[in-house]
Structure 1
Amino acid sequence: MSELLALGVSYKTAPVALRERLALTDGAAERFVQELVEGGDVAEAVAISTCNRTEFYLVVSDAVAAEVALLSQIARRSGMRPTELSSVVYAPRNCDAARHLFRVTSGLESMIVGEHEVQGQVKRAYETALAAGTTGPLTNRLFTAALQTGKRVRNETEIGVARTSVSSVAVDLAQEVVGELASRDVVIIGAGETSELTARAFAEHGVSAMFVANRRADRARALAERIGGSVVPLHDLPAQMESADVVVSSTSSPHPIVGVDELELVMAARDGRPLVLIDIAVPRDIEAACADLPGVTLLDIDDLQRVVAGNLQGREGERDDAIEIVEQEIRRFASWMGQLDVLPTIAALREQASIVAEQVLAENAGRWETASPRDLARVDAMARAIVQRVLHEPTLRIKALADADVETPGHGRLEIVRELFGLESGAHGGRDQAARSTDAEVRPLRRRAGDGSAAT
């Protein structure tokens, strides 16, 4: 029976120094999920990797084995020991895994609660998995429902009305350090969505001299045109940093772009003028040792938490409304997911019972010496009627599990049913179990001493 497994780390469980070792670019995420599915133990896989989290959503037949295997694979890729990861990962299953994704997509699990960007990040992660051919019926339904949940939260609540984004908080941090921004020179490294949002946030503060550096000149030029900035080639970045007041970096580079030796030369040319560096990339774009240089203030993604502390003040009611929407959507998803297992479980249970009845009839075929064909037909019909009547009430109750309350999900109780009846092997588990069982036998009737009643 398939299970949904989520496994990941986030800013809540691991610092940026660890998260950046687990981060995946779009290309790396596509290759990773393909490897998982090609390995045979994972039927479907989607990977989400942002500055605040790296998470995997898998459809597996053995959640425990899949979790162990995935941890080992992640550890090898990141050069870590599985024991290092075990203390920071979370691994919810089935409806709990779906609930987590719904909350992530709704911005409820974000460092900046209610941020809008995360919904786009989840959508792109899903599209990457679609392109890689690693999704399937369960993950398709899961991510479609999650994106619908995020849309409802955004449309039906005001949890995201305030200035709630990594980009806007980065600008707030810059203003907190350097003061009025309108007269400052800002360099933005990168030309992706986060960089554009950051540039627009600076523009709202009156910053007009923005310079964009990026490996792809066409993207940098297009962004500069949209925000009224100027383009600086990446190789000219050190010279531009000599006159900048604030540098914000957000790229998908797997390696640092600003090194400590390079920055030391830049600072020497600034005649003691301070420089603020804000690194909102994961993996980080700026070497951590840069913070030790005189005159340098380096802030990374985890430093945003200080600004975020009051993010929810006055919006607790909106948060509660968002949570209620998530729970409504989870109930719908749980009902759908329950149906995935209910019908196969009923079919497997009935198949197993029919096999047992057939075996008992076959094993005793030679014991009906005086029985006519009509009598044998009656015995066969009676055996099958007993099977139907015995399974009638369990069948009704198993069907009801599909509509079970999400707090006591039917999926878990179906597991118990399958274990009790030996149906773990799937639709044919009943046949396998019956073949392993001891042959049943009809024993002759005998009279109990002292009365005329019959007993077996």
Structure 2
Amino acid sequence: ERLALTEGKATGLLGELKASEPIGEAAAVSTCNRTELYLVVSDPVAAESLALGTLAGEAGIRPTELVESLYSYRGIEAAHHLFSVAAGLDSMILGEAEIQGQVKRAYELALVEGATGPILNRLFRGALAAGKRVRTETRIGEGGPSVPSAAVELAQASLGGGLNSRRVLLVGAGETAELTARALAAKGVEAVFVANRRYDRAIGLADRFGGIAVRFDELPAQLEQADIVVSSTNSPHHIIEREELELMMAARDGRPLLLIDLAVPRDIDPACLEVEGVSIHDVDAVQMIAERNAGGREAEARRAERLIASELNRFERWLESLEVLPTVAAMRVRADEIVARVLEENAGSWKNLGAEDSARLQAMARAIASRILYEPTLRLKRSAEEEDGYLQIAAVRGLFGLDATNEPEAGEANVTPIRREDRGDGR
């Protein structure tokens, strides 16, 4: 919760990460139950340590306090994780739809900030494509499972009856508030929308789902009248504090108040639970409701995993193909180096060779090297589409010593002069 990133915090974090030496690309995904960094780095160990320190600094805590809560994936495992997240398989609620929008916005922010590059661009586009396929080709999202819909169900269970006679107050006017309003409207409930930043957004929601829109400074008066409050702002601080709530509860003539906090970090001070007549549920309580309803979607989740594997395989092949062109280029550079070295080592063998013949000799030597590399180059390019392509690339790099830090050991390559044998017949 302390690591939750608002858009402003995410922007600063991306800038700080991108400015560091081992990190070439960066993106940050922050939702109600996760804050994740996706990085393309030159030194994984150094980058992981740097990212940990940066996150800890953002939260104002020591890095050691985060260690037990961290998980780290590298390479294709990191890609699989993001694909699963975007598809709703690794979400608080199995199959929830809003996570795809959150991943998309995280990618767009990183893109606007210039923090992404070719690898993260392809990764996030692939993840969003995988999420779309899962929702189109399976029924995992059937019934619109979401944190807000589970919150409405929780409210109904807590109050032991229908909600159509209850006054519901939605604090915040973002996507979560919209989904909550939709779930309430399905049960015949009109809500009061409180906008913490954009009043026009609250008006738009009220027009679409019924109810009324009010400004944030009217919140105390609205709390006195509400039966249920669902809060989901992006505020970095509590917007409902214990002291203020005690005063409002005193004016309610003993009527109970149900508070549901869907915000991360929390909108409602946990100390409000100590106020008489107040009940509070947070995202953990909502998740319990969601897990109870997830049973019917588990079979669809298995189908979704197969679709993700297909999209992941496509991304992996693309990733492997990135090594092909540098390998081909390095192979040709190595061949040119060998040709140049052999010509130099044997320059004394053809002292009487004219300039034109010398140029022809050099061109012929390079042509021979190019012909030798022609078939391996074609096969290497085709290998990018094969499952074991990376093995072929690794073999070529090893055989040609393309990853060696020093020149491969080699003796001088002497060219034996071509002599005409003296023949008695004058030929």
TM > 0.5 between the two? yes
Provide the residue aligned with 2:424 in structure 1: none
* Structure 1 Cα separation of the partners of residues 42 and 328 of structure 2: 18
* Structure 2 Cα separation of the partners of residues 329 and 362 of structure 1: 51
Query: Aligned match of 1:239 in 221, 235, 239?
Result: 221
- Alignment deviations for residues 373-407 of structure 1 (CA, whole Å, 9 cap, x no partner): 98999899789968975x789767755653354xx
Contact 2:342/2:414 (8 A) holds in 1? no
Q: Secondary structure at the match of 1:22?
A: coil
Contact 1:43/1:58 (8 A) holds in 2? yes
**Which residue identity lines up with residue 272 of structure 2 in the other structure?**
C
**Which residue identity lines up with residue 49 of structure 1 in the other structure?**
S
Q: How far does residue 127 in structure 1 lie from its aligned partner after superposition?
A: 1.8
Provide the residue aligned with 2:333 in structure 1: 351
| 1:433 correspondence with 2:406 | yes
- Alignment deviations for residues 186-242 of structure 1 (CA, whole Å, 9 cap, x no partner): 111001111011122112222235343434322222222222212333223223212
Provide the residue aligned with 1:202 in structure 2: 184
Contact 1:212/1:224 (8 A) holds in 2? no
Contact 1:212/1:231 (8 A) holds in 2? yes
Q: Secondary structure at the match of 1:57?
A: strand
Pairing of 1:139-178 with structure 2 (within 5 A): 139-178=120-159
| 1:333 correspondence with 2:306 | no
Provide the residue aligned with 1:184 in structure 2: 166
Q: Secondary structure at the match of 2:295?
A: coil
* Structure 2 Cα separation of the partners of residues 375 and 233 of structure 1: 86
Cα 1:155/1:50, change in 2 over 3 Å:
same
* Structure 1 Cα separation of the partners of residues 402 and 415 of structure 2: 32
* Structure 2 Cα separation of the partners of residues 47 and 421 of structure 1: 39
- Alignment deviations for residues 63-85 of structure 1 (CA, whole Å, 9 cap, x no partner): 33222222221121111222222
Query: Aligned match of 1:279 in 249, 261, 281?
Result: 261
Provide the residue aligned with 2:34 in structure 1: 53
Contact 1:354/1:384 (8 A) holds in 2? no
Provide the residue aligned with 2:282 in structure 1: 300
Q: How far does residue 182 in structure 1 lie from its aligned partner after superposition?
A: 1.5
| 1:106 correspondence with 2:87 | yes
| 1:309 correspondence with 2:282 | no
Q: Secondary structure at the match of 1:309?
A: helix
Unmatched 5+ residue regions in structure 2? 417-427
Provide the residue aligned with 1:448 in structure 2: none
Q: Secondary structure at the match of 1:21?
A: coil
Structure number with greater Rg is 2
Cα 1:216/1:433, change in 2 over 3 Å:
same
| 1:66 correspondence with 2:47 | yes
Query: Aligned match of 1:38 in 12, 19, 23?
Result: 19
Provide the residue aligned with 1:263 in structure 2: 245
* Structure 1 Cα separation of the partners of residues 201 and 385 of structure 2: 50
Q: Secondary structure at the match of 1:263?
A: helix
**Which residue identity lines up with residue 164 of structure 1 in the other structure?**
P
Pairing of 1:219-238 with structure 2 (within 5 A): 219-238=201-220
Pairing of 1:113-128 with structure 2 (within 5 A): 113-128=94-109
Provide the residue aligned with 1:21 in structure 2: 2
Q: Secondary structure at the match of 1:133?
A: coil
Q: Secondary structure at the match of 2:293?
A: coil
Provide the residue aligned with 1:3 in structure 2: none
* Structure 2 Cα separation of the partners of residues 322 and 34 of structure 1: 35
**Which residue identity lines up with residue 305 of structure 1 in the other structure?**
Q
Contact 1:51/1:282 (8 A) holds in 2? yes
* Structure 2 Cα separation of the partners of residues 182 and 400 of structure 1: 64
Pairing of 1:1-20 with structure 2 (within 5 A): 20=1
* Structure 1 Cα separation of the partners of residues 250 and 401 of structure 2: 73
Cα 1:377/1:143, change in 2 over 3 Å:
same
Cα 1:149/1:270, change in 2 over 3 Å:
same
Q: How far does residue 322 in structure 1 lie from its aligned partner after superposition?
A: 1.0
* Structure 1 Cα separation of the partners of residues 112 and 285 of structure 2: 35
**Which residue identity lines up with residue 188 of structure 1 in the other structure?**
L
- Alignment deviations for residues 267-310 of structure 1 (CA, whole Å, 9 cap, x no partner): 33334332211111111111122223333221111222211223
Unmatched 5+ residue regions in structure 1? 1-19, 425-429, 446-456
**Which residue identity lines up with residue 69 of structure 1 in the other structure?**
L
Cα 1:396/1:68, change in 2 over 3 Å:
farther
**Which residue identity lines up with residue 294 of structure 1 in the other structure?**
E
